[in-house]
Amino acid sequence: MSRRAPLTALLPLLLITPTVWAQSIAVAPTPVDPAAALVPSPWSGSSGELGYAAANGNSTTDSLNGRVRLRYTDGDWIHSLDATALRSSSEYTNTNEDGSTTRERQTTAERYTGSVGSALQLGEHRQLTATGRYEHDDFATYDRLATFGIGYGTRLIDADRFYLDAQVGPGVRRAHNSNEDRNETGLIGRGLFDLKYTVTDNTDVINTLLVESGEYNTYAQNDFGVQVSMNSHFALKAAWQMRHNSEVSDGDKKTDTLTTVNLVYTFK
């Protein structure tokens, strides 16, 4: 048998071997670090919500409210942002001097709020906090106000389905009294209490109480809500908000309430 025969038989194998080897390299899966896959997103706890209501017929009203909450974790630091907006308007019939009538629209509520905060973790559920808050409300005695406070936060109750967090500390507030057109600046005591109860795997009851008390006014805001998750991103939330000022101008009510049903989107 000729020596060329074995070489001839091996030639096709030599030609296809590099191709097969290259394909095996191309389709080989990239190793995944199990520890890296378990690292949670630094944006955990961030969400946005939106609600709209409209009525037409004998009366015409529109109401829009929204909220964005961002939370970012960087090592021992937790940074947060919370912004809300509310605007309502309605149409009414105006009688002119000649007896004719016209339909006109007026704004009945317009409020924008924003708060930012940073917390330094001292240990599990213990932190030092710094928080700033700004509010603009065209229909309130204090139409503009800003507060800044520092404090200490801790978890008062920690159970399987229930927790209660608290923050307390001093701060300063500057507010504009729209009826008397004057600015009021003074020290305040600030308290924030955050409660959450998990009823079922997809239903949560939440309540947040904020109190800012100073020489000129004591402000309290309570937000109560029931949130039902439809999937990992979307949820429906029914909420009731109460806002109370101890000092208001004559003719203004001390307590305002707001009831909403919103669609919530949670960032994962």
Q: What would the pLDDT profile of 23-64 be if each residue is shown by its tens digit?
A: 544 445 555 555 555 567 788 778 999 999 888 877 789 999
| Mean pLDDT, the chain, whole residue set | 87
Strand runs labelled E in the chain = 47-55, 60-74, 77-95, 101-123, 126-137, 142-158, 162-177, 182-200, 203-214, 218-229, 234-245, 255-266
Sequence ranges of the domains in the chain:
48-266
Q: What is the fold of 48-266? A: Porin (2.40.160)
**Per residue, what are the HEC states of 158-208?**
ECCCEEEEEEEEEEEEEEEECCCCEEEEEEEEEEEEEEEEEEECCEEEEEE
Q: 238, 260 in Cβ contact below 8 A?
A: yes
H/E segment holding residue 36: helix 34-37
Q: What would the pLDDT profile of 146-196 be if each residue is shown by its tens digit?
A: 999 999 999 999 999 999 999 999 999 999 999 889 999 999 999 999 999
Pick from 132, 206, 204, 197: nearest CA to 162: 197
- Min mean pLDDT across 31-35, 130-134, 226-230 is at 31-35
Q: 108, 78 in Cβ contact below 8 A?
A: no
